[in-house]
Structure 1
């Protein structure tokens, strides 16, 4: 509950800041009539919509599991990132088109000094708020907060480019610096919008998080016990901040149900202790076969058919496969 409240609070901060900066940037545009400043202001409108949707997604992701959503509501955060990326992508295309039109029919930039100071102040605010959102989003394992913070980083970069363009216009009087900056910003926004959409699709399609998988494998390898003869078919799915993990563990076939349950519980508690987020884990126990004897370290095994020869290390290459890799020895 505390984690949900913190995420919502930071989401609200992003929304309030975005609304305030929109007014500042459009005021700067009204003073300068700069194409680069207009580009920056239009992107900030997208910030308001995306921050609002991100806040709503944070609220939904914090709801408990129910009959219709047995894995919770965390996936909505990836949808939020995709929505944000799609809006940014569309805005980038429009901005690029508008910049081309301005390049064909350039107009004078007025009062660039005012525009420079106003935009510089918004860039500093965006950098600070973006840093806070990314830092807290990673600590809270919130894709929506991280995505929102990264968007503010991009907005700050766009603003700094606009400031640089105004400085060049003020020094040289050449308005082509203004429209050229708008073209660069339009292309930059399109590329980053596409990347956000790509990250959203990866999350919604349950693309494997290699770093998290390696963490789980490393924990199992470090605390490996003799009854854990083999681990395979390890799968990890992230639902917003929460993790769903399942795998198969090969154990001695003569273990009682109570003994197998004890080992499964040890494994689940071991993995859960590795993460600060909620972890839902299911372990399926498989009975061993005699082919596993050469790599089994069970002491005084009453049914051993082959002597132990070598221990097969658990790695990313063999643990994620749906195979008992000891059978390949």
Structure 2
């Protein structure tokens, strides 16, 4: 089964589960009249919309590149988690408002045992499906699936809190525990919604993925050849699951066009083999200068002006800068 088909099936599973759980939770609210259960049910409605949008975004992200989208359609997944986060924020604010009203005007809660059984069932289902989505999303490099799975985790946590509130009401007879749980859940949901929106903006604005940059640099360092004098201006962008990487590599200025081409192909090949996703890599070759002789390890260089001093290890600190490497004076 292809990666795209696997993603689509997982997203469809999430949507189907979300629709079923919303029905169960609203039935639990019908039985109990609990503000905390209503909070949980309202938050679950968001699951339906976000799962549907995640399914659509995953479908779009799997489409091939075209003239209008030369880097593919992968960024739609960041829009998906932004949409999800915005809806969660909206729901959290409304839940917070409703909880305050419930504090001011408390009402009786009934059939607590039936409500807790139904909520407990939905929590277990959400945890199981959320675990599958997060694990599969990380394996398939799908931020939409991971975001959807984390939302299900959040939904399960909300359900557990609602159950705790019902237990406290059952034991103490104080219905304010119900409104209090809803208030806490509203604040928690707002914070998590903000985090999802923040992650979406980071992806859409091409914020650097430091972990992936470190992997690329580490692989270049491990496979380093004498002709690769230094790498700089290295950038890594994510388009959904796929990567776009570009950098400058300083090489001997007297290399023929064919020799330089072969070296660049070797660099691109080893990076593409390092990742199990589609990688588009462009390497710009810079001709060396005599200032680079002291850090160049190429043996029998016919134009060397200075003896080799020592290697400069490639790190995030020096490889991402748009400047050639030099040894400090003295």
On whether the aligned pair clears a TM of 0.5, the verdict is yes
2:150 partner SS: helix
Verify the 8 A CA contact 1:230 1:326 in the aligned structure 2. no
Q: Equivalent residue for 1:280? A: 280
User: Aligned-pair distance for 1:328?
Assistant: 5.4
Q: Distance in 2 between matches of 1:16 and 1:173?
A: 37
Verify the 8 A CA contact 2:295 2:327 in the aligned structure 1. no
User: Aligned-pair distance for 1:318?
Assistant: 0.2
The equivalences for 1:32-71 within 5 A come to: 32-71=32-71
1:314 partner SS: coil
Q: Distance in 2 between matches of 1:173 and 1:326?
A: 74
Q: Equivalent residue for 1:250? A: 250
CA offset digits 1:82-105 (Å, max 9, x no partner): 000000000000000000001000
The equivalences for 1:170-249 within 5 A come to: 170-249=170-249
The equivalences for 1:19-98 within 5 A come to: 19-98=19-98
User: Aligned-pair distance for 1:59?
Assistant: 0.3
1:245 partner SS: strand
1:67 partner SS: coil
Verify the 8 A CA contact 2:294 2:327 in the aligned structure 1. no
Q: Distance in 2 between matches of 1:255 and 1:69?
A: 35
2:299 partner SS: coil
Q: Equivalent residue for 1:296? A: 296
Q: Equivalent residue for 1:113? A: 113
Q: Equivalent residue for 1:305? A: 305
User: Aligned-pair distance for 1:327?
Assistant: 6.5
Q: Equivalent residue for 1:103? A: 103
Query: Structure 1 unaligned runs (5+)?
Result: none
CA offset digits 1:273-310 (Å, max 9, x no partner): 00000000000000000000000000000000000111
Q: Equivalent residue for 2:269? A: 269
Verify the 8 A CA contact 1:75 1:239 in the aligned structure 2. yes
2:21 partner SS: helix
Q: What's the RMSD between the two structures over aligned residues?
A: 0.8
Q: Distance in 2 between matches of 1:20 and 1:327?
A: 64
Verify the 8 A CA contact 2:122 2:156 in the aligned structure 1. yes
How does the TM-score come out when normalised to structure 2? Answer: 0.99
Q: Distance in 1 between matches of 2:167 and 2:325?
A: 64
User: Aligned-pair distance for 1:154?
Assistant: 0.3
Q: What is the number of residues matched between the two proteins?
A: 329
Q: Equivalent residue for 2:156? A: 156
How does the TM-score come out when normalised to structure 1? Answer: 0.99
2:187 partner SS: helix
1:250 partner SS: strand
Verify the 8 A CA contact 1:33 1:109 in the aligned structure 2. yes
Q: Equivalent residue for 2:125? A: 125
2:232 partner SS: strand
Q: Distance in 2 between matches of 1:161 and 1:326?
A: 58
CA offset digits 1:213-239 (Å, max 9, x no partner): 000000000110000001000000000
Q: Distance in 2 between matches of 1:327 and 1:53?
A: 52
Report whether the alignment pairs 1:17 with 2:25.
Answer: no
Query: Structure 2 unaligned runs (5+)?
Result: none
User: Aligned-pair distance for 1:325?
Assistant: 1.7
